Structure 1
Amino acid sequence: MNALAALASQERQEPLLLPTPEVVVQLLALLVVLGLLARSLLPRINRALTERRAAVEDGISEARSARTEAEQALELNRSLLAEAGHEAARLRQEATDQGFATIAAMREQGARQRDSLVAAGRVQVEADRRASVETLRRELGTVVTDLAGQLAAESLEDQARQSRVIDRFIGGLEDKAAKSR
């Protein structure tokens, strides 16, 4: 019991401290285990970390290049959109200009047709007026000849005589009309 009592008395005095030989053995065992782990496991861990770091860096590099490509595509799309807008504005302006040109051409054509119709109408009116004047001269000549023949008691049946009398009479009427204007 002596040994037990001595052990118990030692335990009471230093309950947290382990015996020194045991501590040394445990430390040596720990160092051996850590050495083995460092020798076999540490290279694997370092290799895995290196591979992971390389994969992350590659991903970042790819993301940067994808971002650069996306920015370039976005810029290209913006420039294409702006160009399409300019083209649409140009086409609208061109269509507007063509519309105005067509309207101007149609107005000009209408004015030419109007002028042509007016000129043709004037020619027709002038022709109708001449025909009317000629018809009036003949009818008036006939009436005047008959009247003159009755008044002068002279027959004006001769065509040449009739024409001279009609021309003198109409000339006198035209002179009176010109003076009254």
Structure 2
Amino acid sequence: MGPLEPKVNDLIIAAICFAVVFFTFARFLVPRITKVLEARQDAIEGTIERSEAVYAQARQIQAEYQAELSEARHEAARIRQTAAEEGTLLIQQVRTEGQRQRDELVASATAQLEADRIVAAAALREDVFKLAKDLAERILGEPIVDERRAREITDDFFAELDADAPTKA
């Protein structure tokens, strides 16, 4: 008798042992294993449902964030545009004020130059009169006593110079 031809007693003992083990497994272990597997399945499905809910919530938060970011960009562009307009207006105002001040300075300087020219011309004429009088006294060898006549001659000379000046210019 070999392993392929077992004894009947061995077969009966093996069948009884198999039935005891099968009954134990079927009665005690399989329901527990089934319960654990069902609990795991519920936990996995619950986790999937929760993760889908969290994913949907994350998508909603991302959409809100994108909307707020877009709004902030528009607000920043509006602020930049307003600042550029205000800057242009300020530059224009400063430029206008600078032009006005420059015109005032030029007018003031022109008036001052004209006044200085008149004073210088009067002083120069007086100096020329004195030099001409001194030269005439040296040439004549005697002092000129008729001051009024000497002034008339000098004024006539300057009047001729003034009349010739515009034609030469």
Tell me the TM-score normalised to structure 1 length: 0.54
Shift of 1:101: 7.1
Task: Mark the structure with the bigger radius of gyration.
Answer: 1
Paired position in structure 2 for 1:59: 47
- Please say if 1:138 is aligned against 2:126: yes
- Please say if 1:125 is aligned against 2:113: yes
Paired position in structure 1 for 2:161: 173
- Cα–Cα, structure 1 residues 51 and 138, in superposed 2: closer, same or farther, change >3 Å? same
Q: Is the 8 A contact 1:145 1:156 kept in 2?
A: no
- Cα–Cα, structure 1 residues 22 and 154, in superposed 2: closer, same or farther, change >3 Å? closer
- Indicate the RMSD between aligned Cα atoms, in angstroms: 5.0
Aligned equivalents of 1:80, 1:162: Cα separation in 2: 95
Aligned equivalents of 2:51, 2:42: Cα separation in 1: 14
Tell me the TM-score normalised to structure 2 length: 0.56
Shift of 1:134: 1.7
Equivalent pairs: percent with the same residue?
A: 31
**The 10-residue stretch of structure 1 (124-133 or 29-38) with the greater mean CA deviation from structure 2:** 29-38
Q: Is the 8 A contact 2:133 2:144 kept in 1?
A: no
Shift of 1:29: 6.5
Alignment equivalent of 1:156, drawn from 135, 146, 151? 146
Aligned equivalents of 1:15, 1:141: Cα separation in 2: 162
Deviations 1:113-172 (A, max 9, x none): 554444333222211111112223334455667859x7xx995345xx676555444323
Aligned equivalents of 1:130, 1:54: Cα separation in 2: 111
Shift of 1:78: 6.4
- Higher relative CO (CA 8 A, sep ≥ 6), structure 1 or 2? 1
- Cα–Cα, structure 1 residues 169 and 33, in superposed 2: closer, same or farther, change >3 Å? closer
Aligned equivalents of 1:162, 1:154: Cα separation in 2: 8
Aligned equivalents of 1:81, 1:145: Cα separation in 2: 93
Q: Structure 1: 5+ residue runs without aligned partners?
A: 1-10
